[in-house]
Structures are given as structure tokens and as C-alpha cells.
Amino acid sequence: MLELNGLEAGHVALLGVPWDAHSSFLRGPALAPRQIRAALHSGAMNLCAENGHDLGADARWHDLGDLAIPAGDEAALAAITGTASAVLRRGGRLLALGGDHAVSFPLLRAYGEAHPGLTVLHLDAHPDLYDELDGDQLSHACPFARALEEGRIARLVQVGIRTLNPHQRAQARRFGVEVIEMRDWRPGMDLRLAAPLYLSLDLDALDPAFAPGVSHHEPGGFTTREVLGIIQSLPVPLVGADLVEFNPVRDPTGITAALAAKLVKEILAQMLDAIATEGS
Ligand code: MN
Ligand code: MN
């Protein structure tokens, strides 16, 4: 378990979850957290979010470092859920850096427990609703099927989807998932998001022109500005978020690392400004 001293109620914990054992196509996302941190602190960018919030001068967020992922699936799941639960028990909020999308299932186990009635806004090219993929129920293509089966999510709103096949369309119907396909999405669309709200952001939601450093290139996605607009216009404070599927192996120029670091700043600012607005 990581050291949580100094993490107070209302604070935000940044946590690396370097787990990609259940990636179906390419490994590499386990390398992401350290590359995102390197970009964030490289000196190429300052620590201000676009709204002027200077994260370098804000002591209410803490980088907990990377979780040590134990061998064995059950142990890995328990370590991720246990750490998230410990942060939530202290009244903290978590911004988790994957890892692939398989990390969201153990994170949502903790969040579903702590926040009944949880809404998840899921930005992704893929619905990640497979019952199993290649015989793997913990695949990064399955986390939302697992979380919904366990009742961890009250409302799942998926945006940016552009890979629905008949099985996943049937799964979406079975679980009552609200799928807004990329071809139907428009900027400013009212998603009627309500608290408690969690954001799960798969970098392949963006067009590979903007985010080439992902395992699954799926053209026809969001621009960077569109994703920033979604984050900056969220109507309620995020109780937590994960940023997943950055694959540094496919990012030789570092452009996707810079994108991920910028998204970290914008998500942190959204969470911390929301706390200030709440007056807590
Ligand atoms: Mn995904
Ligand atoms: Mn995806």
C-alpha cells in the first residue's frame, strides 16, 4: 500500500497504475505513467491549466507515484481497488494514470462502493463491453461489462464510440448503456450529467492524428480541442477519473505524452476548482 500521509479530504491523488497484462493487441501502456510525469515536469510546459489555475502553486494535489502491481490477476485487482478505496475513505479523489483500460474495473469497484448512484462518462473509440475477448474476461475490451454486472455504475454514458459490432450493441442494450456514437456527437451536446460523476478517458477516443501513441488506431475521432471542451464544460465536479491506453512504445516524438500531460492538468484543475466552488 502506498503512503497516503498528507492526503486530506477534498485533495486529489495522482496515481500511476502500470498494468497492461490484459491488453489484447500490444503491450506498452504500463510504461505510460512515468512518461506522462516526465512530460508534465519536462520544462516544455508550465503547470497552469488553461483557466489560469496554477497547479504548481496548489498543495491540494499529491502524486502518489506508481502502484506496485503484484503478480496474479486477483492480487492485482485487489491492490488497485484497495488503494483507490483507501484514498476515497480519506475523502480524497483519484486521478489514475493507466495502464490499459483494464484498470478501470478495479477502480470502479472502489468508486461504486463509495459513491452509490455513480455516473461514468466514458470517452473511447471502443465501448469495452465485450463479455470476453480471446477468452479473457479481464481484457481491456471488457471493463465496463464487468463493472455493470457487479452493479458498480448506475449510469454509463459513452461518447466517441465508432467500433460497435453486433455483440457489443447487444451488450449495450442489455446493460442500458447510453451510447453516443462519434458520428452522432456534436460539440455542446447536453449529456445531462449529474453527480457523483467519474470520467474514464481512453486516449484512443481522440483521432490518431492527435494521439498516435495508442495501441488501437481508430480514425475519425475527437480533436484535442473537442476533448478539452468536454472536460472544461463538465457541469458537476468529478469525484474521480482515469486516463488510460497511452502507449509510449508508439509515441517516438512524445506528442501523445504531451497530450496526456495536458489532459492531466485540465482534469486536475476541473477537480480542484470544483472543490473550491463547493466551499469545502
Ligand atoms: Mn477503452
Ligand atoms: Mn479504446
pTM for the full model? 0.97
CA-based radius of gyration for the chain = 17
Among candidates 233, 152, 120, 155, which has minimal Cα distance to 187? 233
Task: State the Cα–Cα distance between residues 148 and 181, nearest whole angstrom.
Answer: 20
Q: pLDDT, tens digit, for every residue of 158-177? A: 999 999 999 999 999 999 99
Task: State the Cα–Cα distance between residues 9 and 219, nearest whole angstrom.
Answer: 41
Task: State the Cα–Cα distance between residues 75 and 264, nearest whole angstrom.
Answer: 27
pLDDT over 90 (residue 235): yes
What pLDDT was estimated at residue 1? 56
Gap from CA of 277 to ligand 2 centroid (Å): 32
Gap from CA of 244 to ligand 1 centroid (Å): 7
Among candidates 195, 194, 212, 193, which has minimal Cα distance to 204? 212
What's the full length of the chain, in residues? Answer: 280
Gap from CA of 68 to ligand 1 centroid (Å): 22
Task: State the Cα–Cα distance between residues 115 and 195, nearest whole angstrom.
Answer: 9
What pLDDT was estimated at residue 5? 76
Task: State the Cα–Cα distance between residues 204 and 247, nearest whole angstrom.
Answer: 10
Q: CA of 261: how far to CAs of 200, 220, 231, 270, in Å?
A: 16, 23, 14, 14
Q: pLDDT, tens digit, for every residue of 87-130? A: 999 999 999 999 999 999 999 999 999 999 999 999 999 999 99
Report strand pairing: 61-66 vs 12-17.
parallel
The residues, any chain, with a CB within 8 Å of residue 270's CB and separated by 6 or more, are 231, 232, 234, 237, 238
Gap from CA of 140 to ligand 2 centroid (Å): 8
Gap from CA of 73 to ligand 1 centroid (Å): 19
What pLDDT was estimated at residue 221? 98
Nearest ligand for residue 208 CA: 2
Among candidates 51, 56, 14, which has minimal Cα distance to 232? 51
Residues with CB under 5 A from ligand 1 (ion): 101, 124, 126, 128, 202
Task: State the Cα–Cα distance between residues 198 and 179, nearest whole angstrom.
Answer: 16
Gap from CA of 141 to ligand 1 centroid (Å): 6
Gap from CA of 7 to ligand 2 centroid (Å): 31
Gap from CA of 72 to ligand 2 centroid (Å): 24
- What's the whole-number average pLDDT of the chain? 96
Task: State the Cα–Cα distance between residues 120 and 157, nearest whole angstrom.
Answer: 6
Task: Kindly state the average pLDDT of the residues 191-205.
Answer: 98
What pLDDT was estimated at residue 279? 43
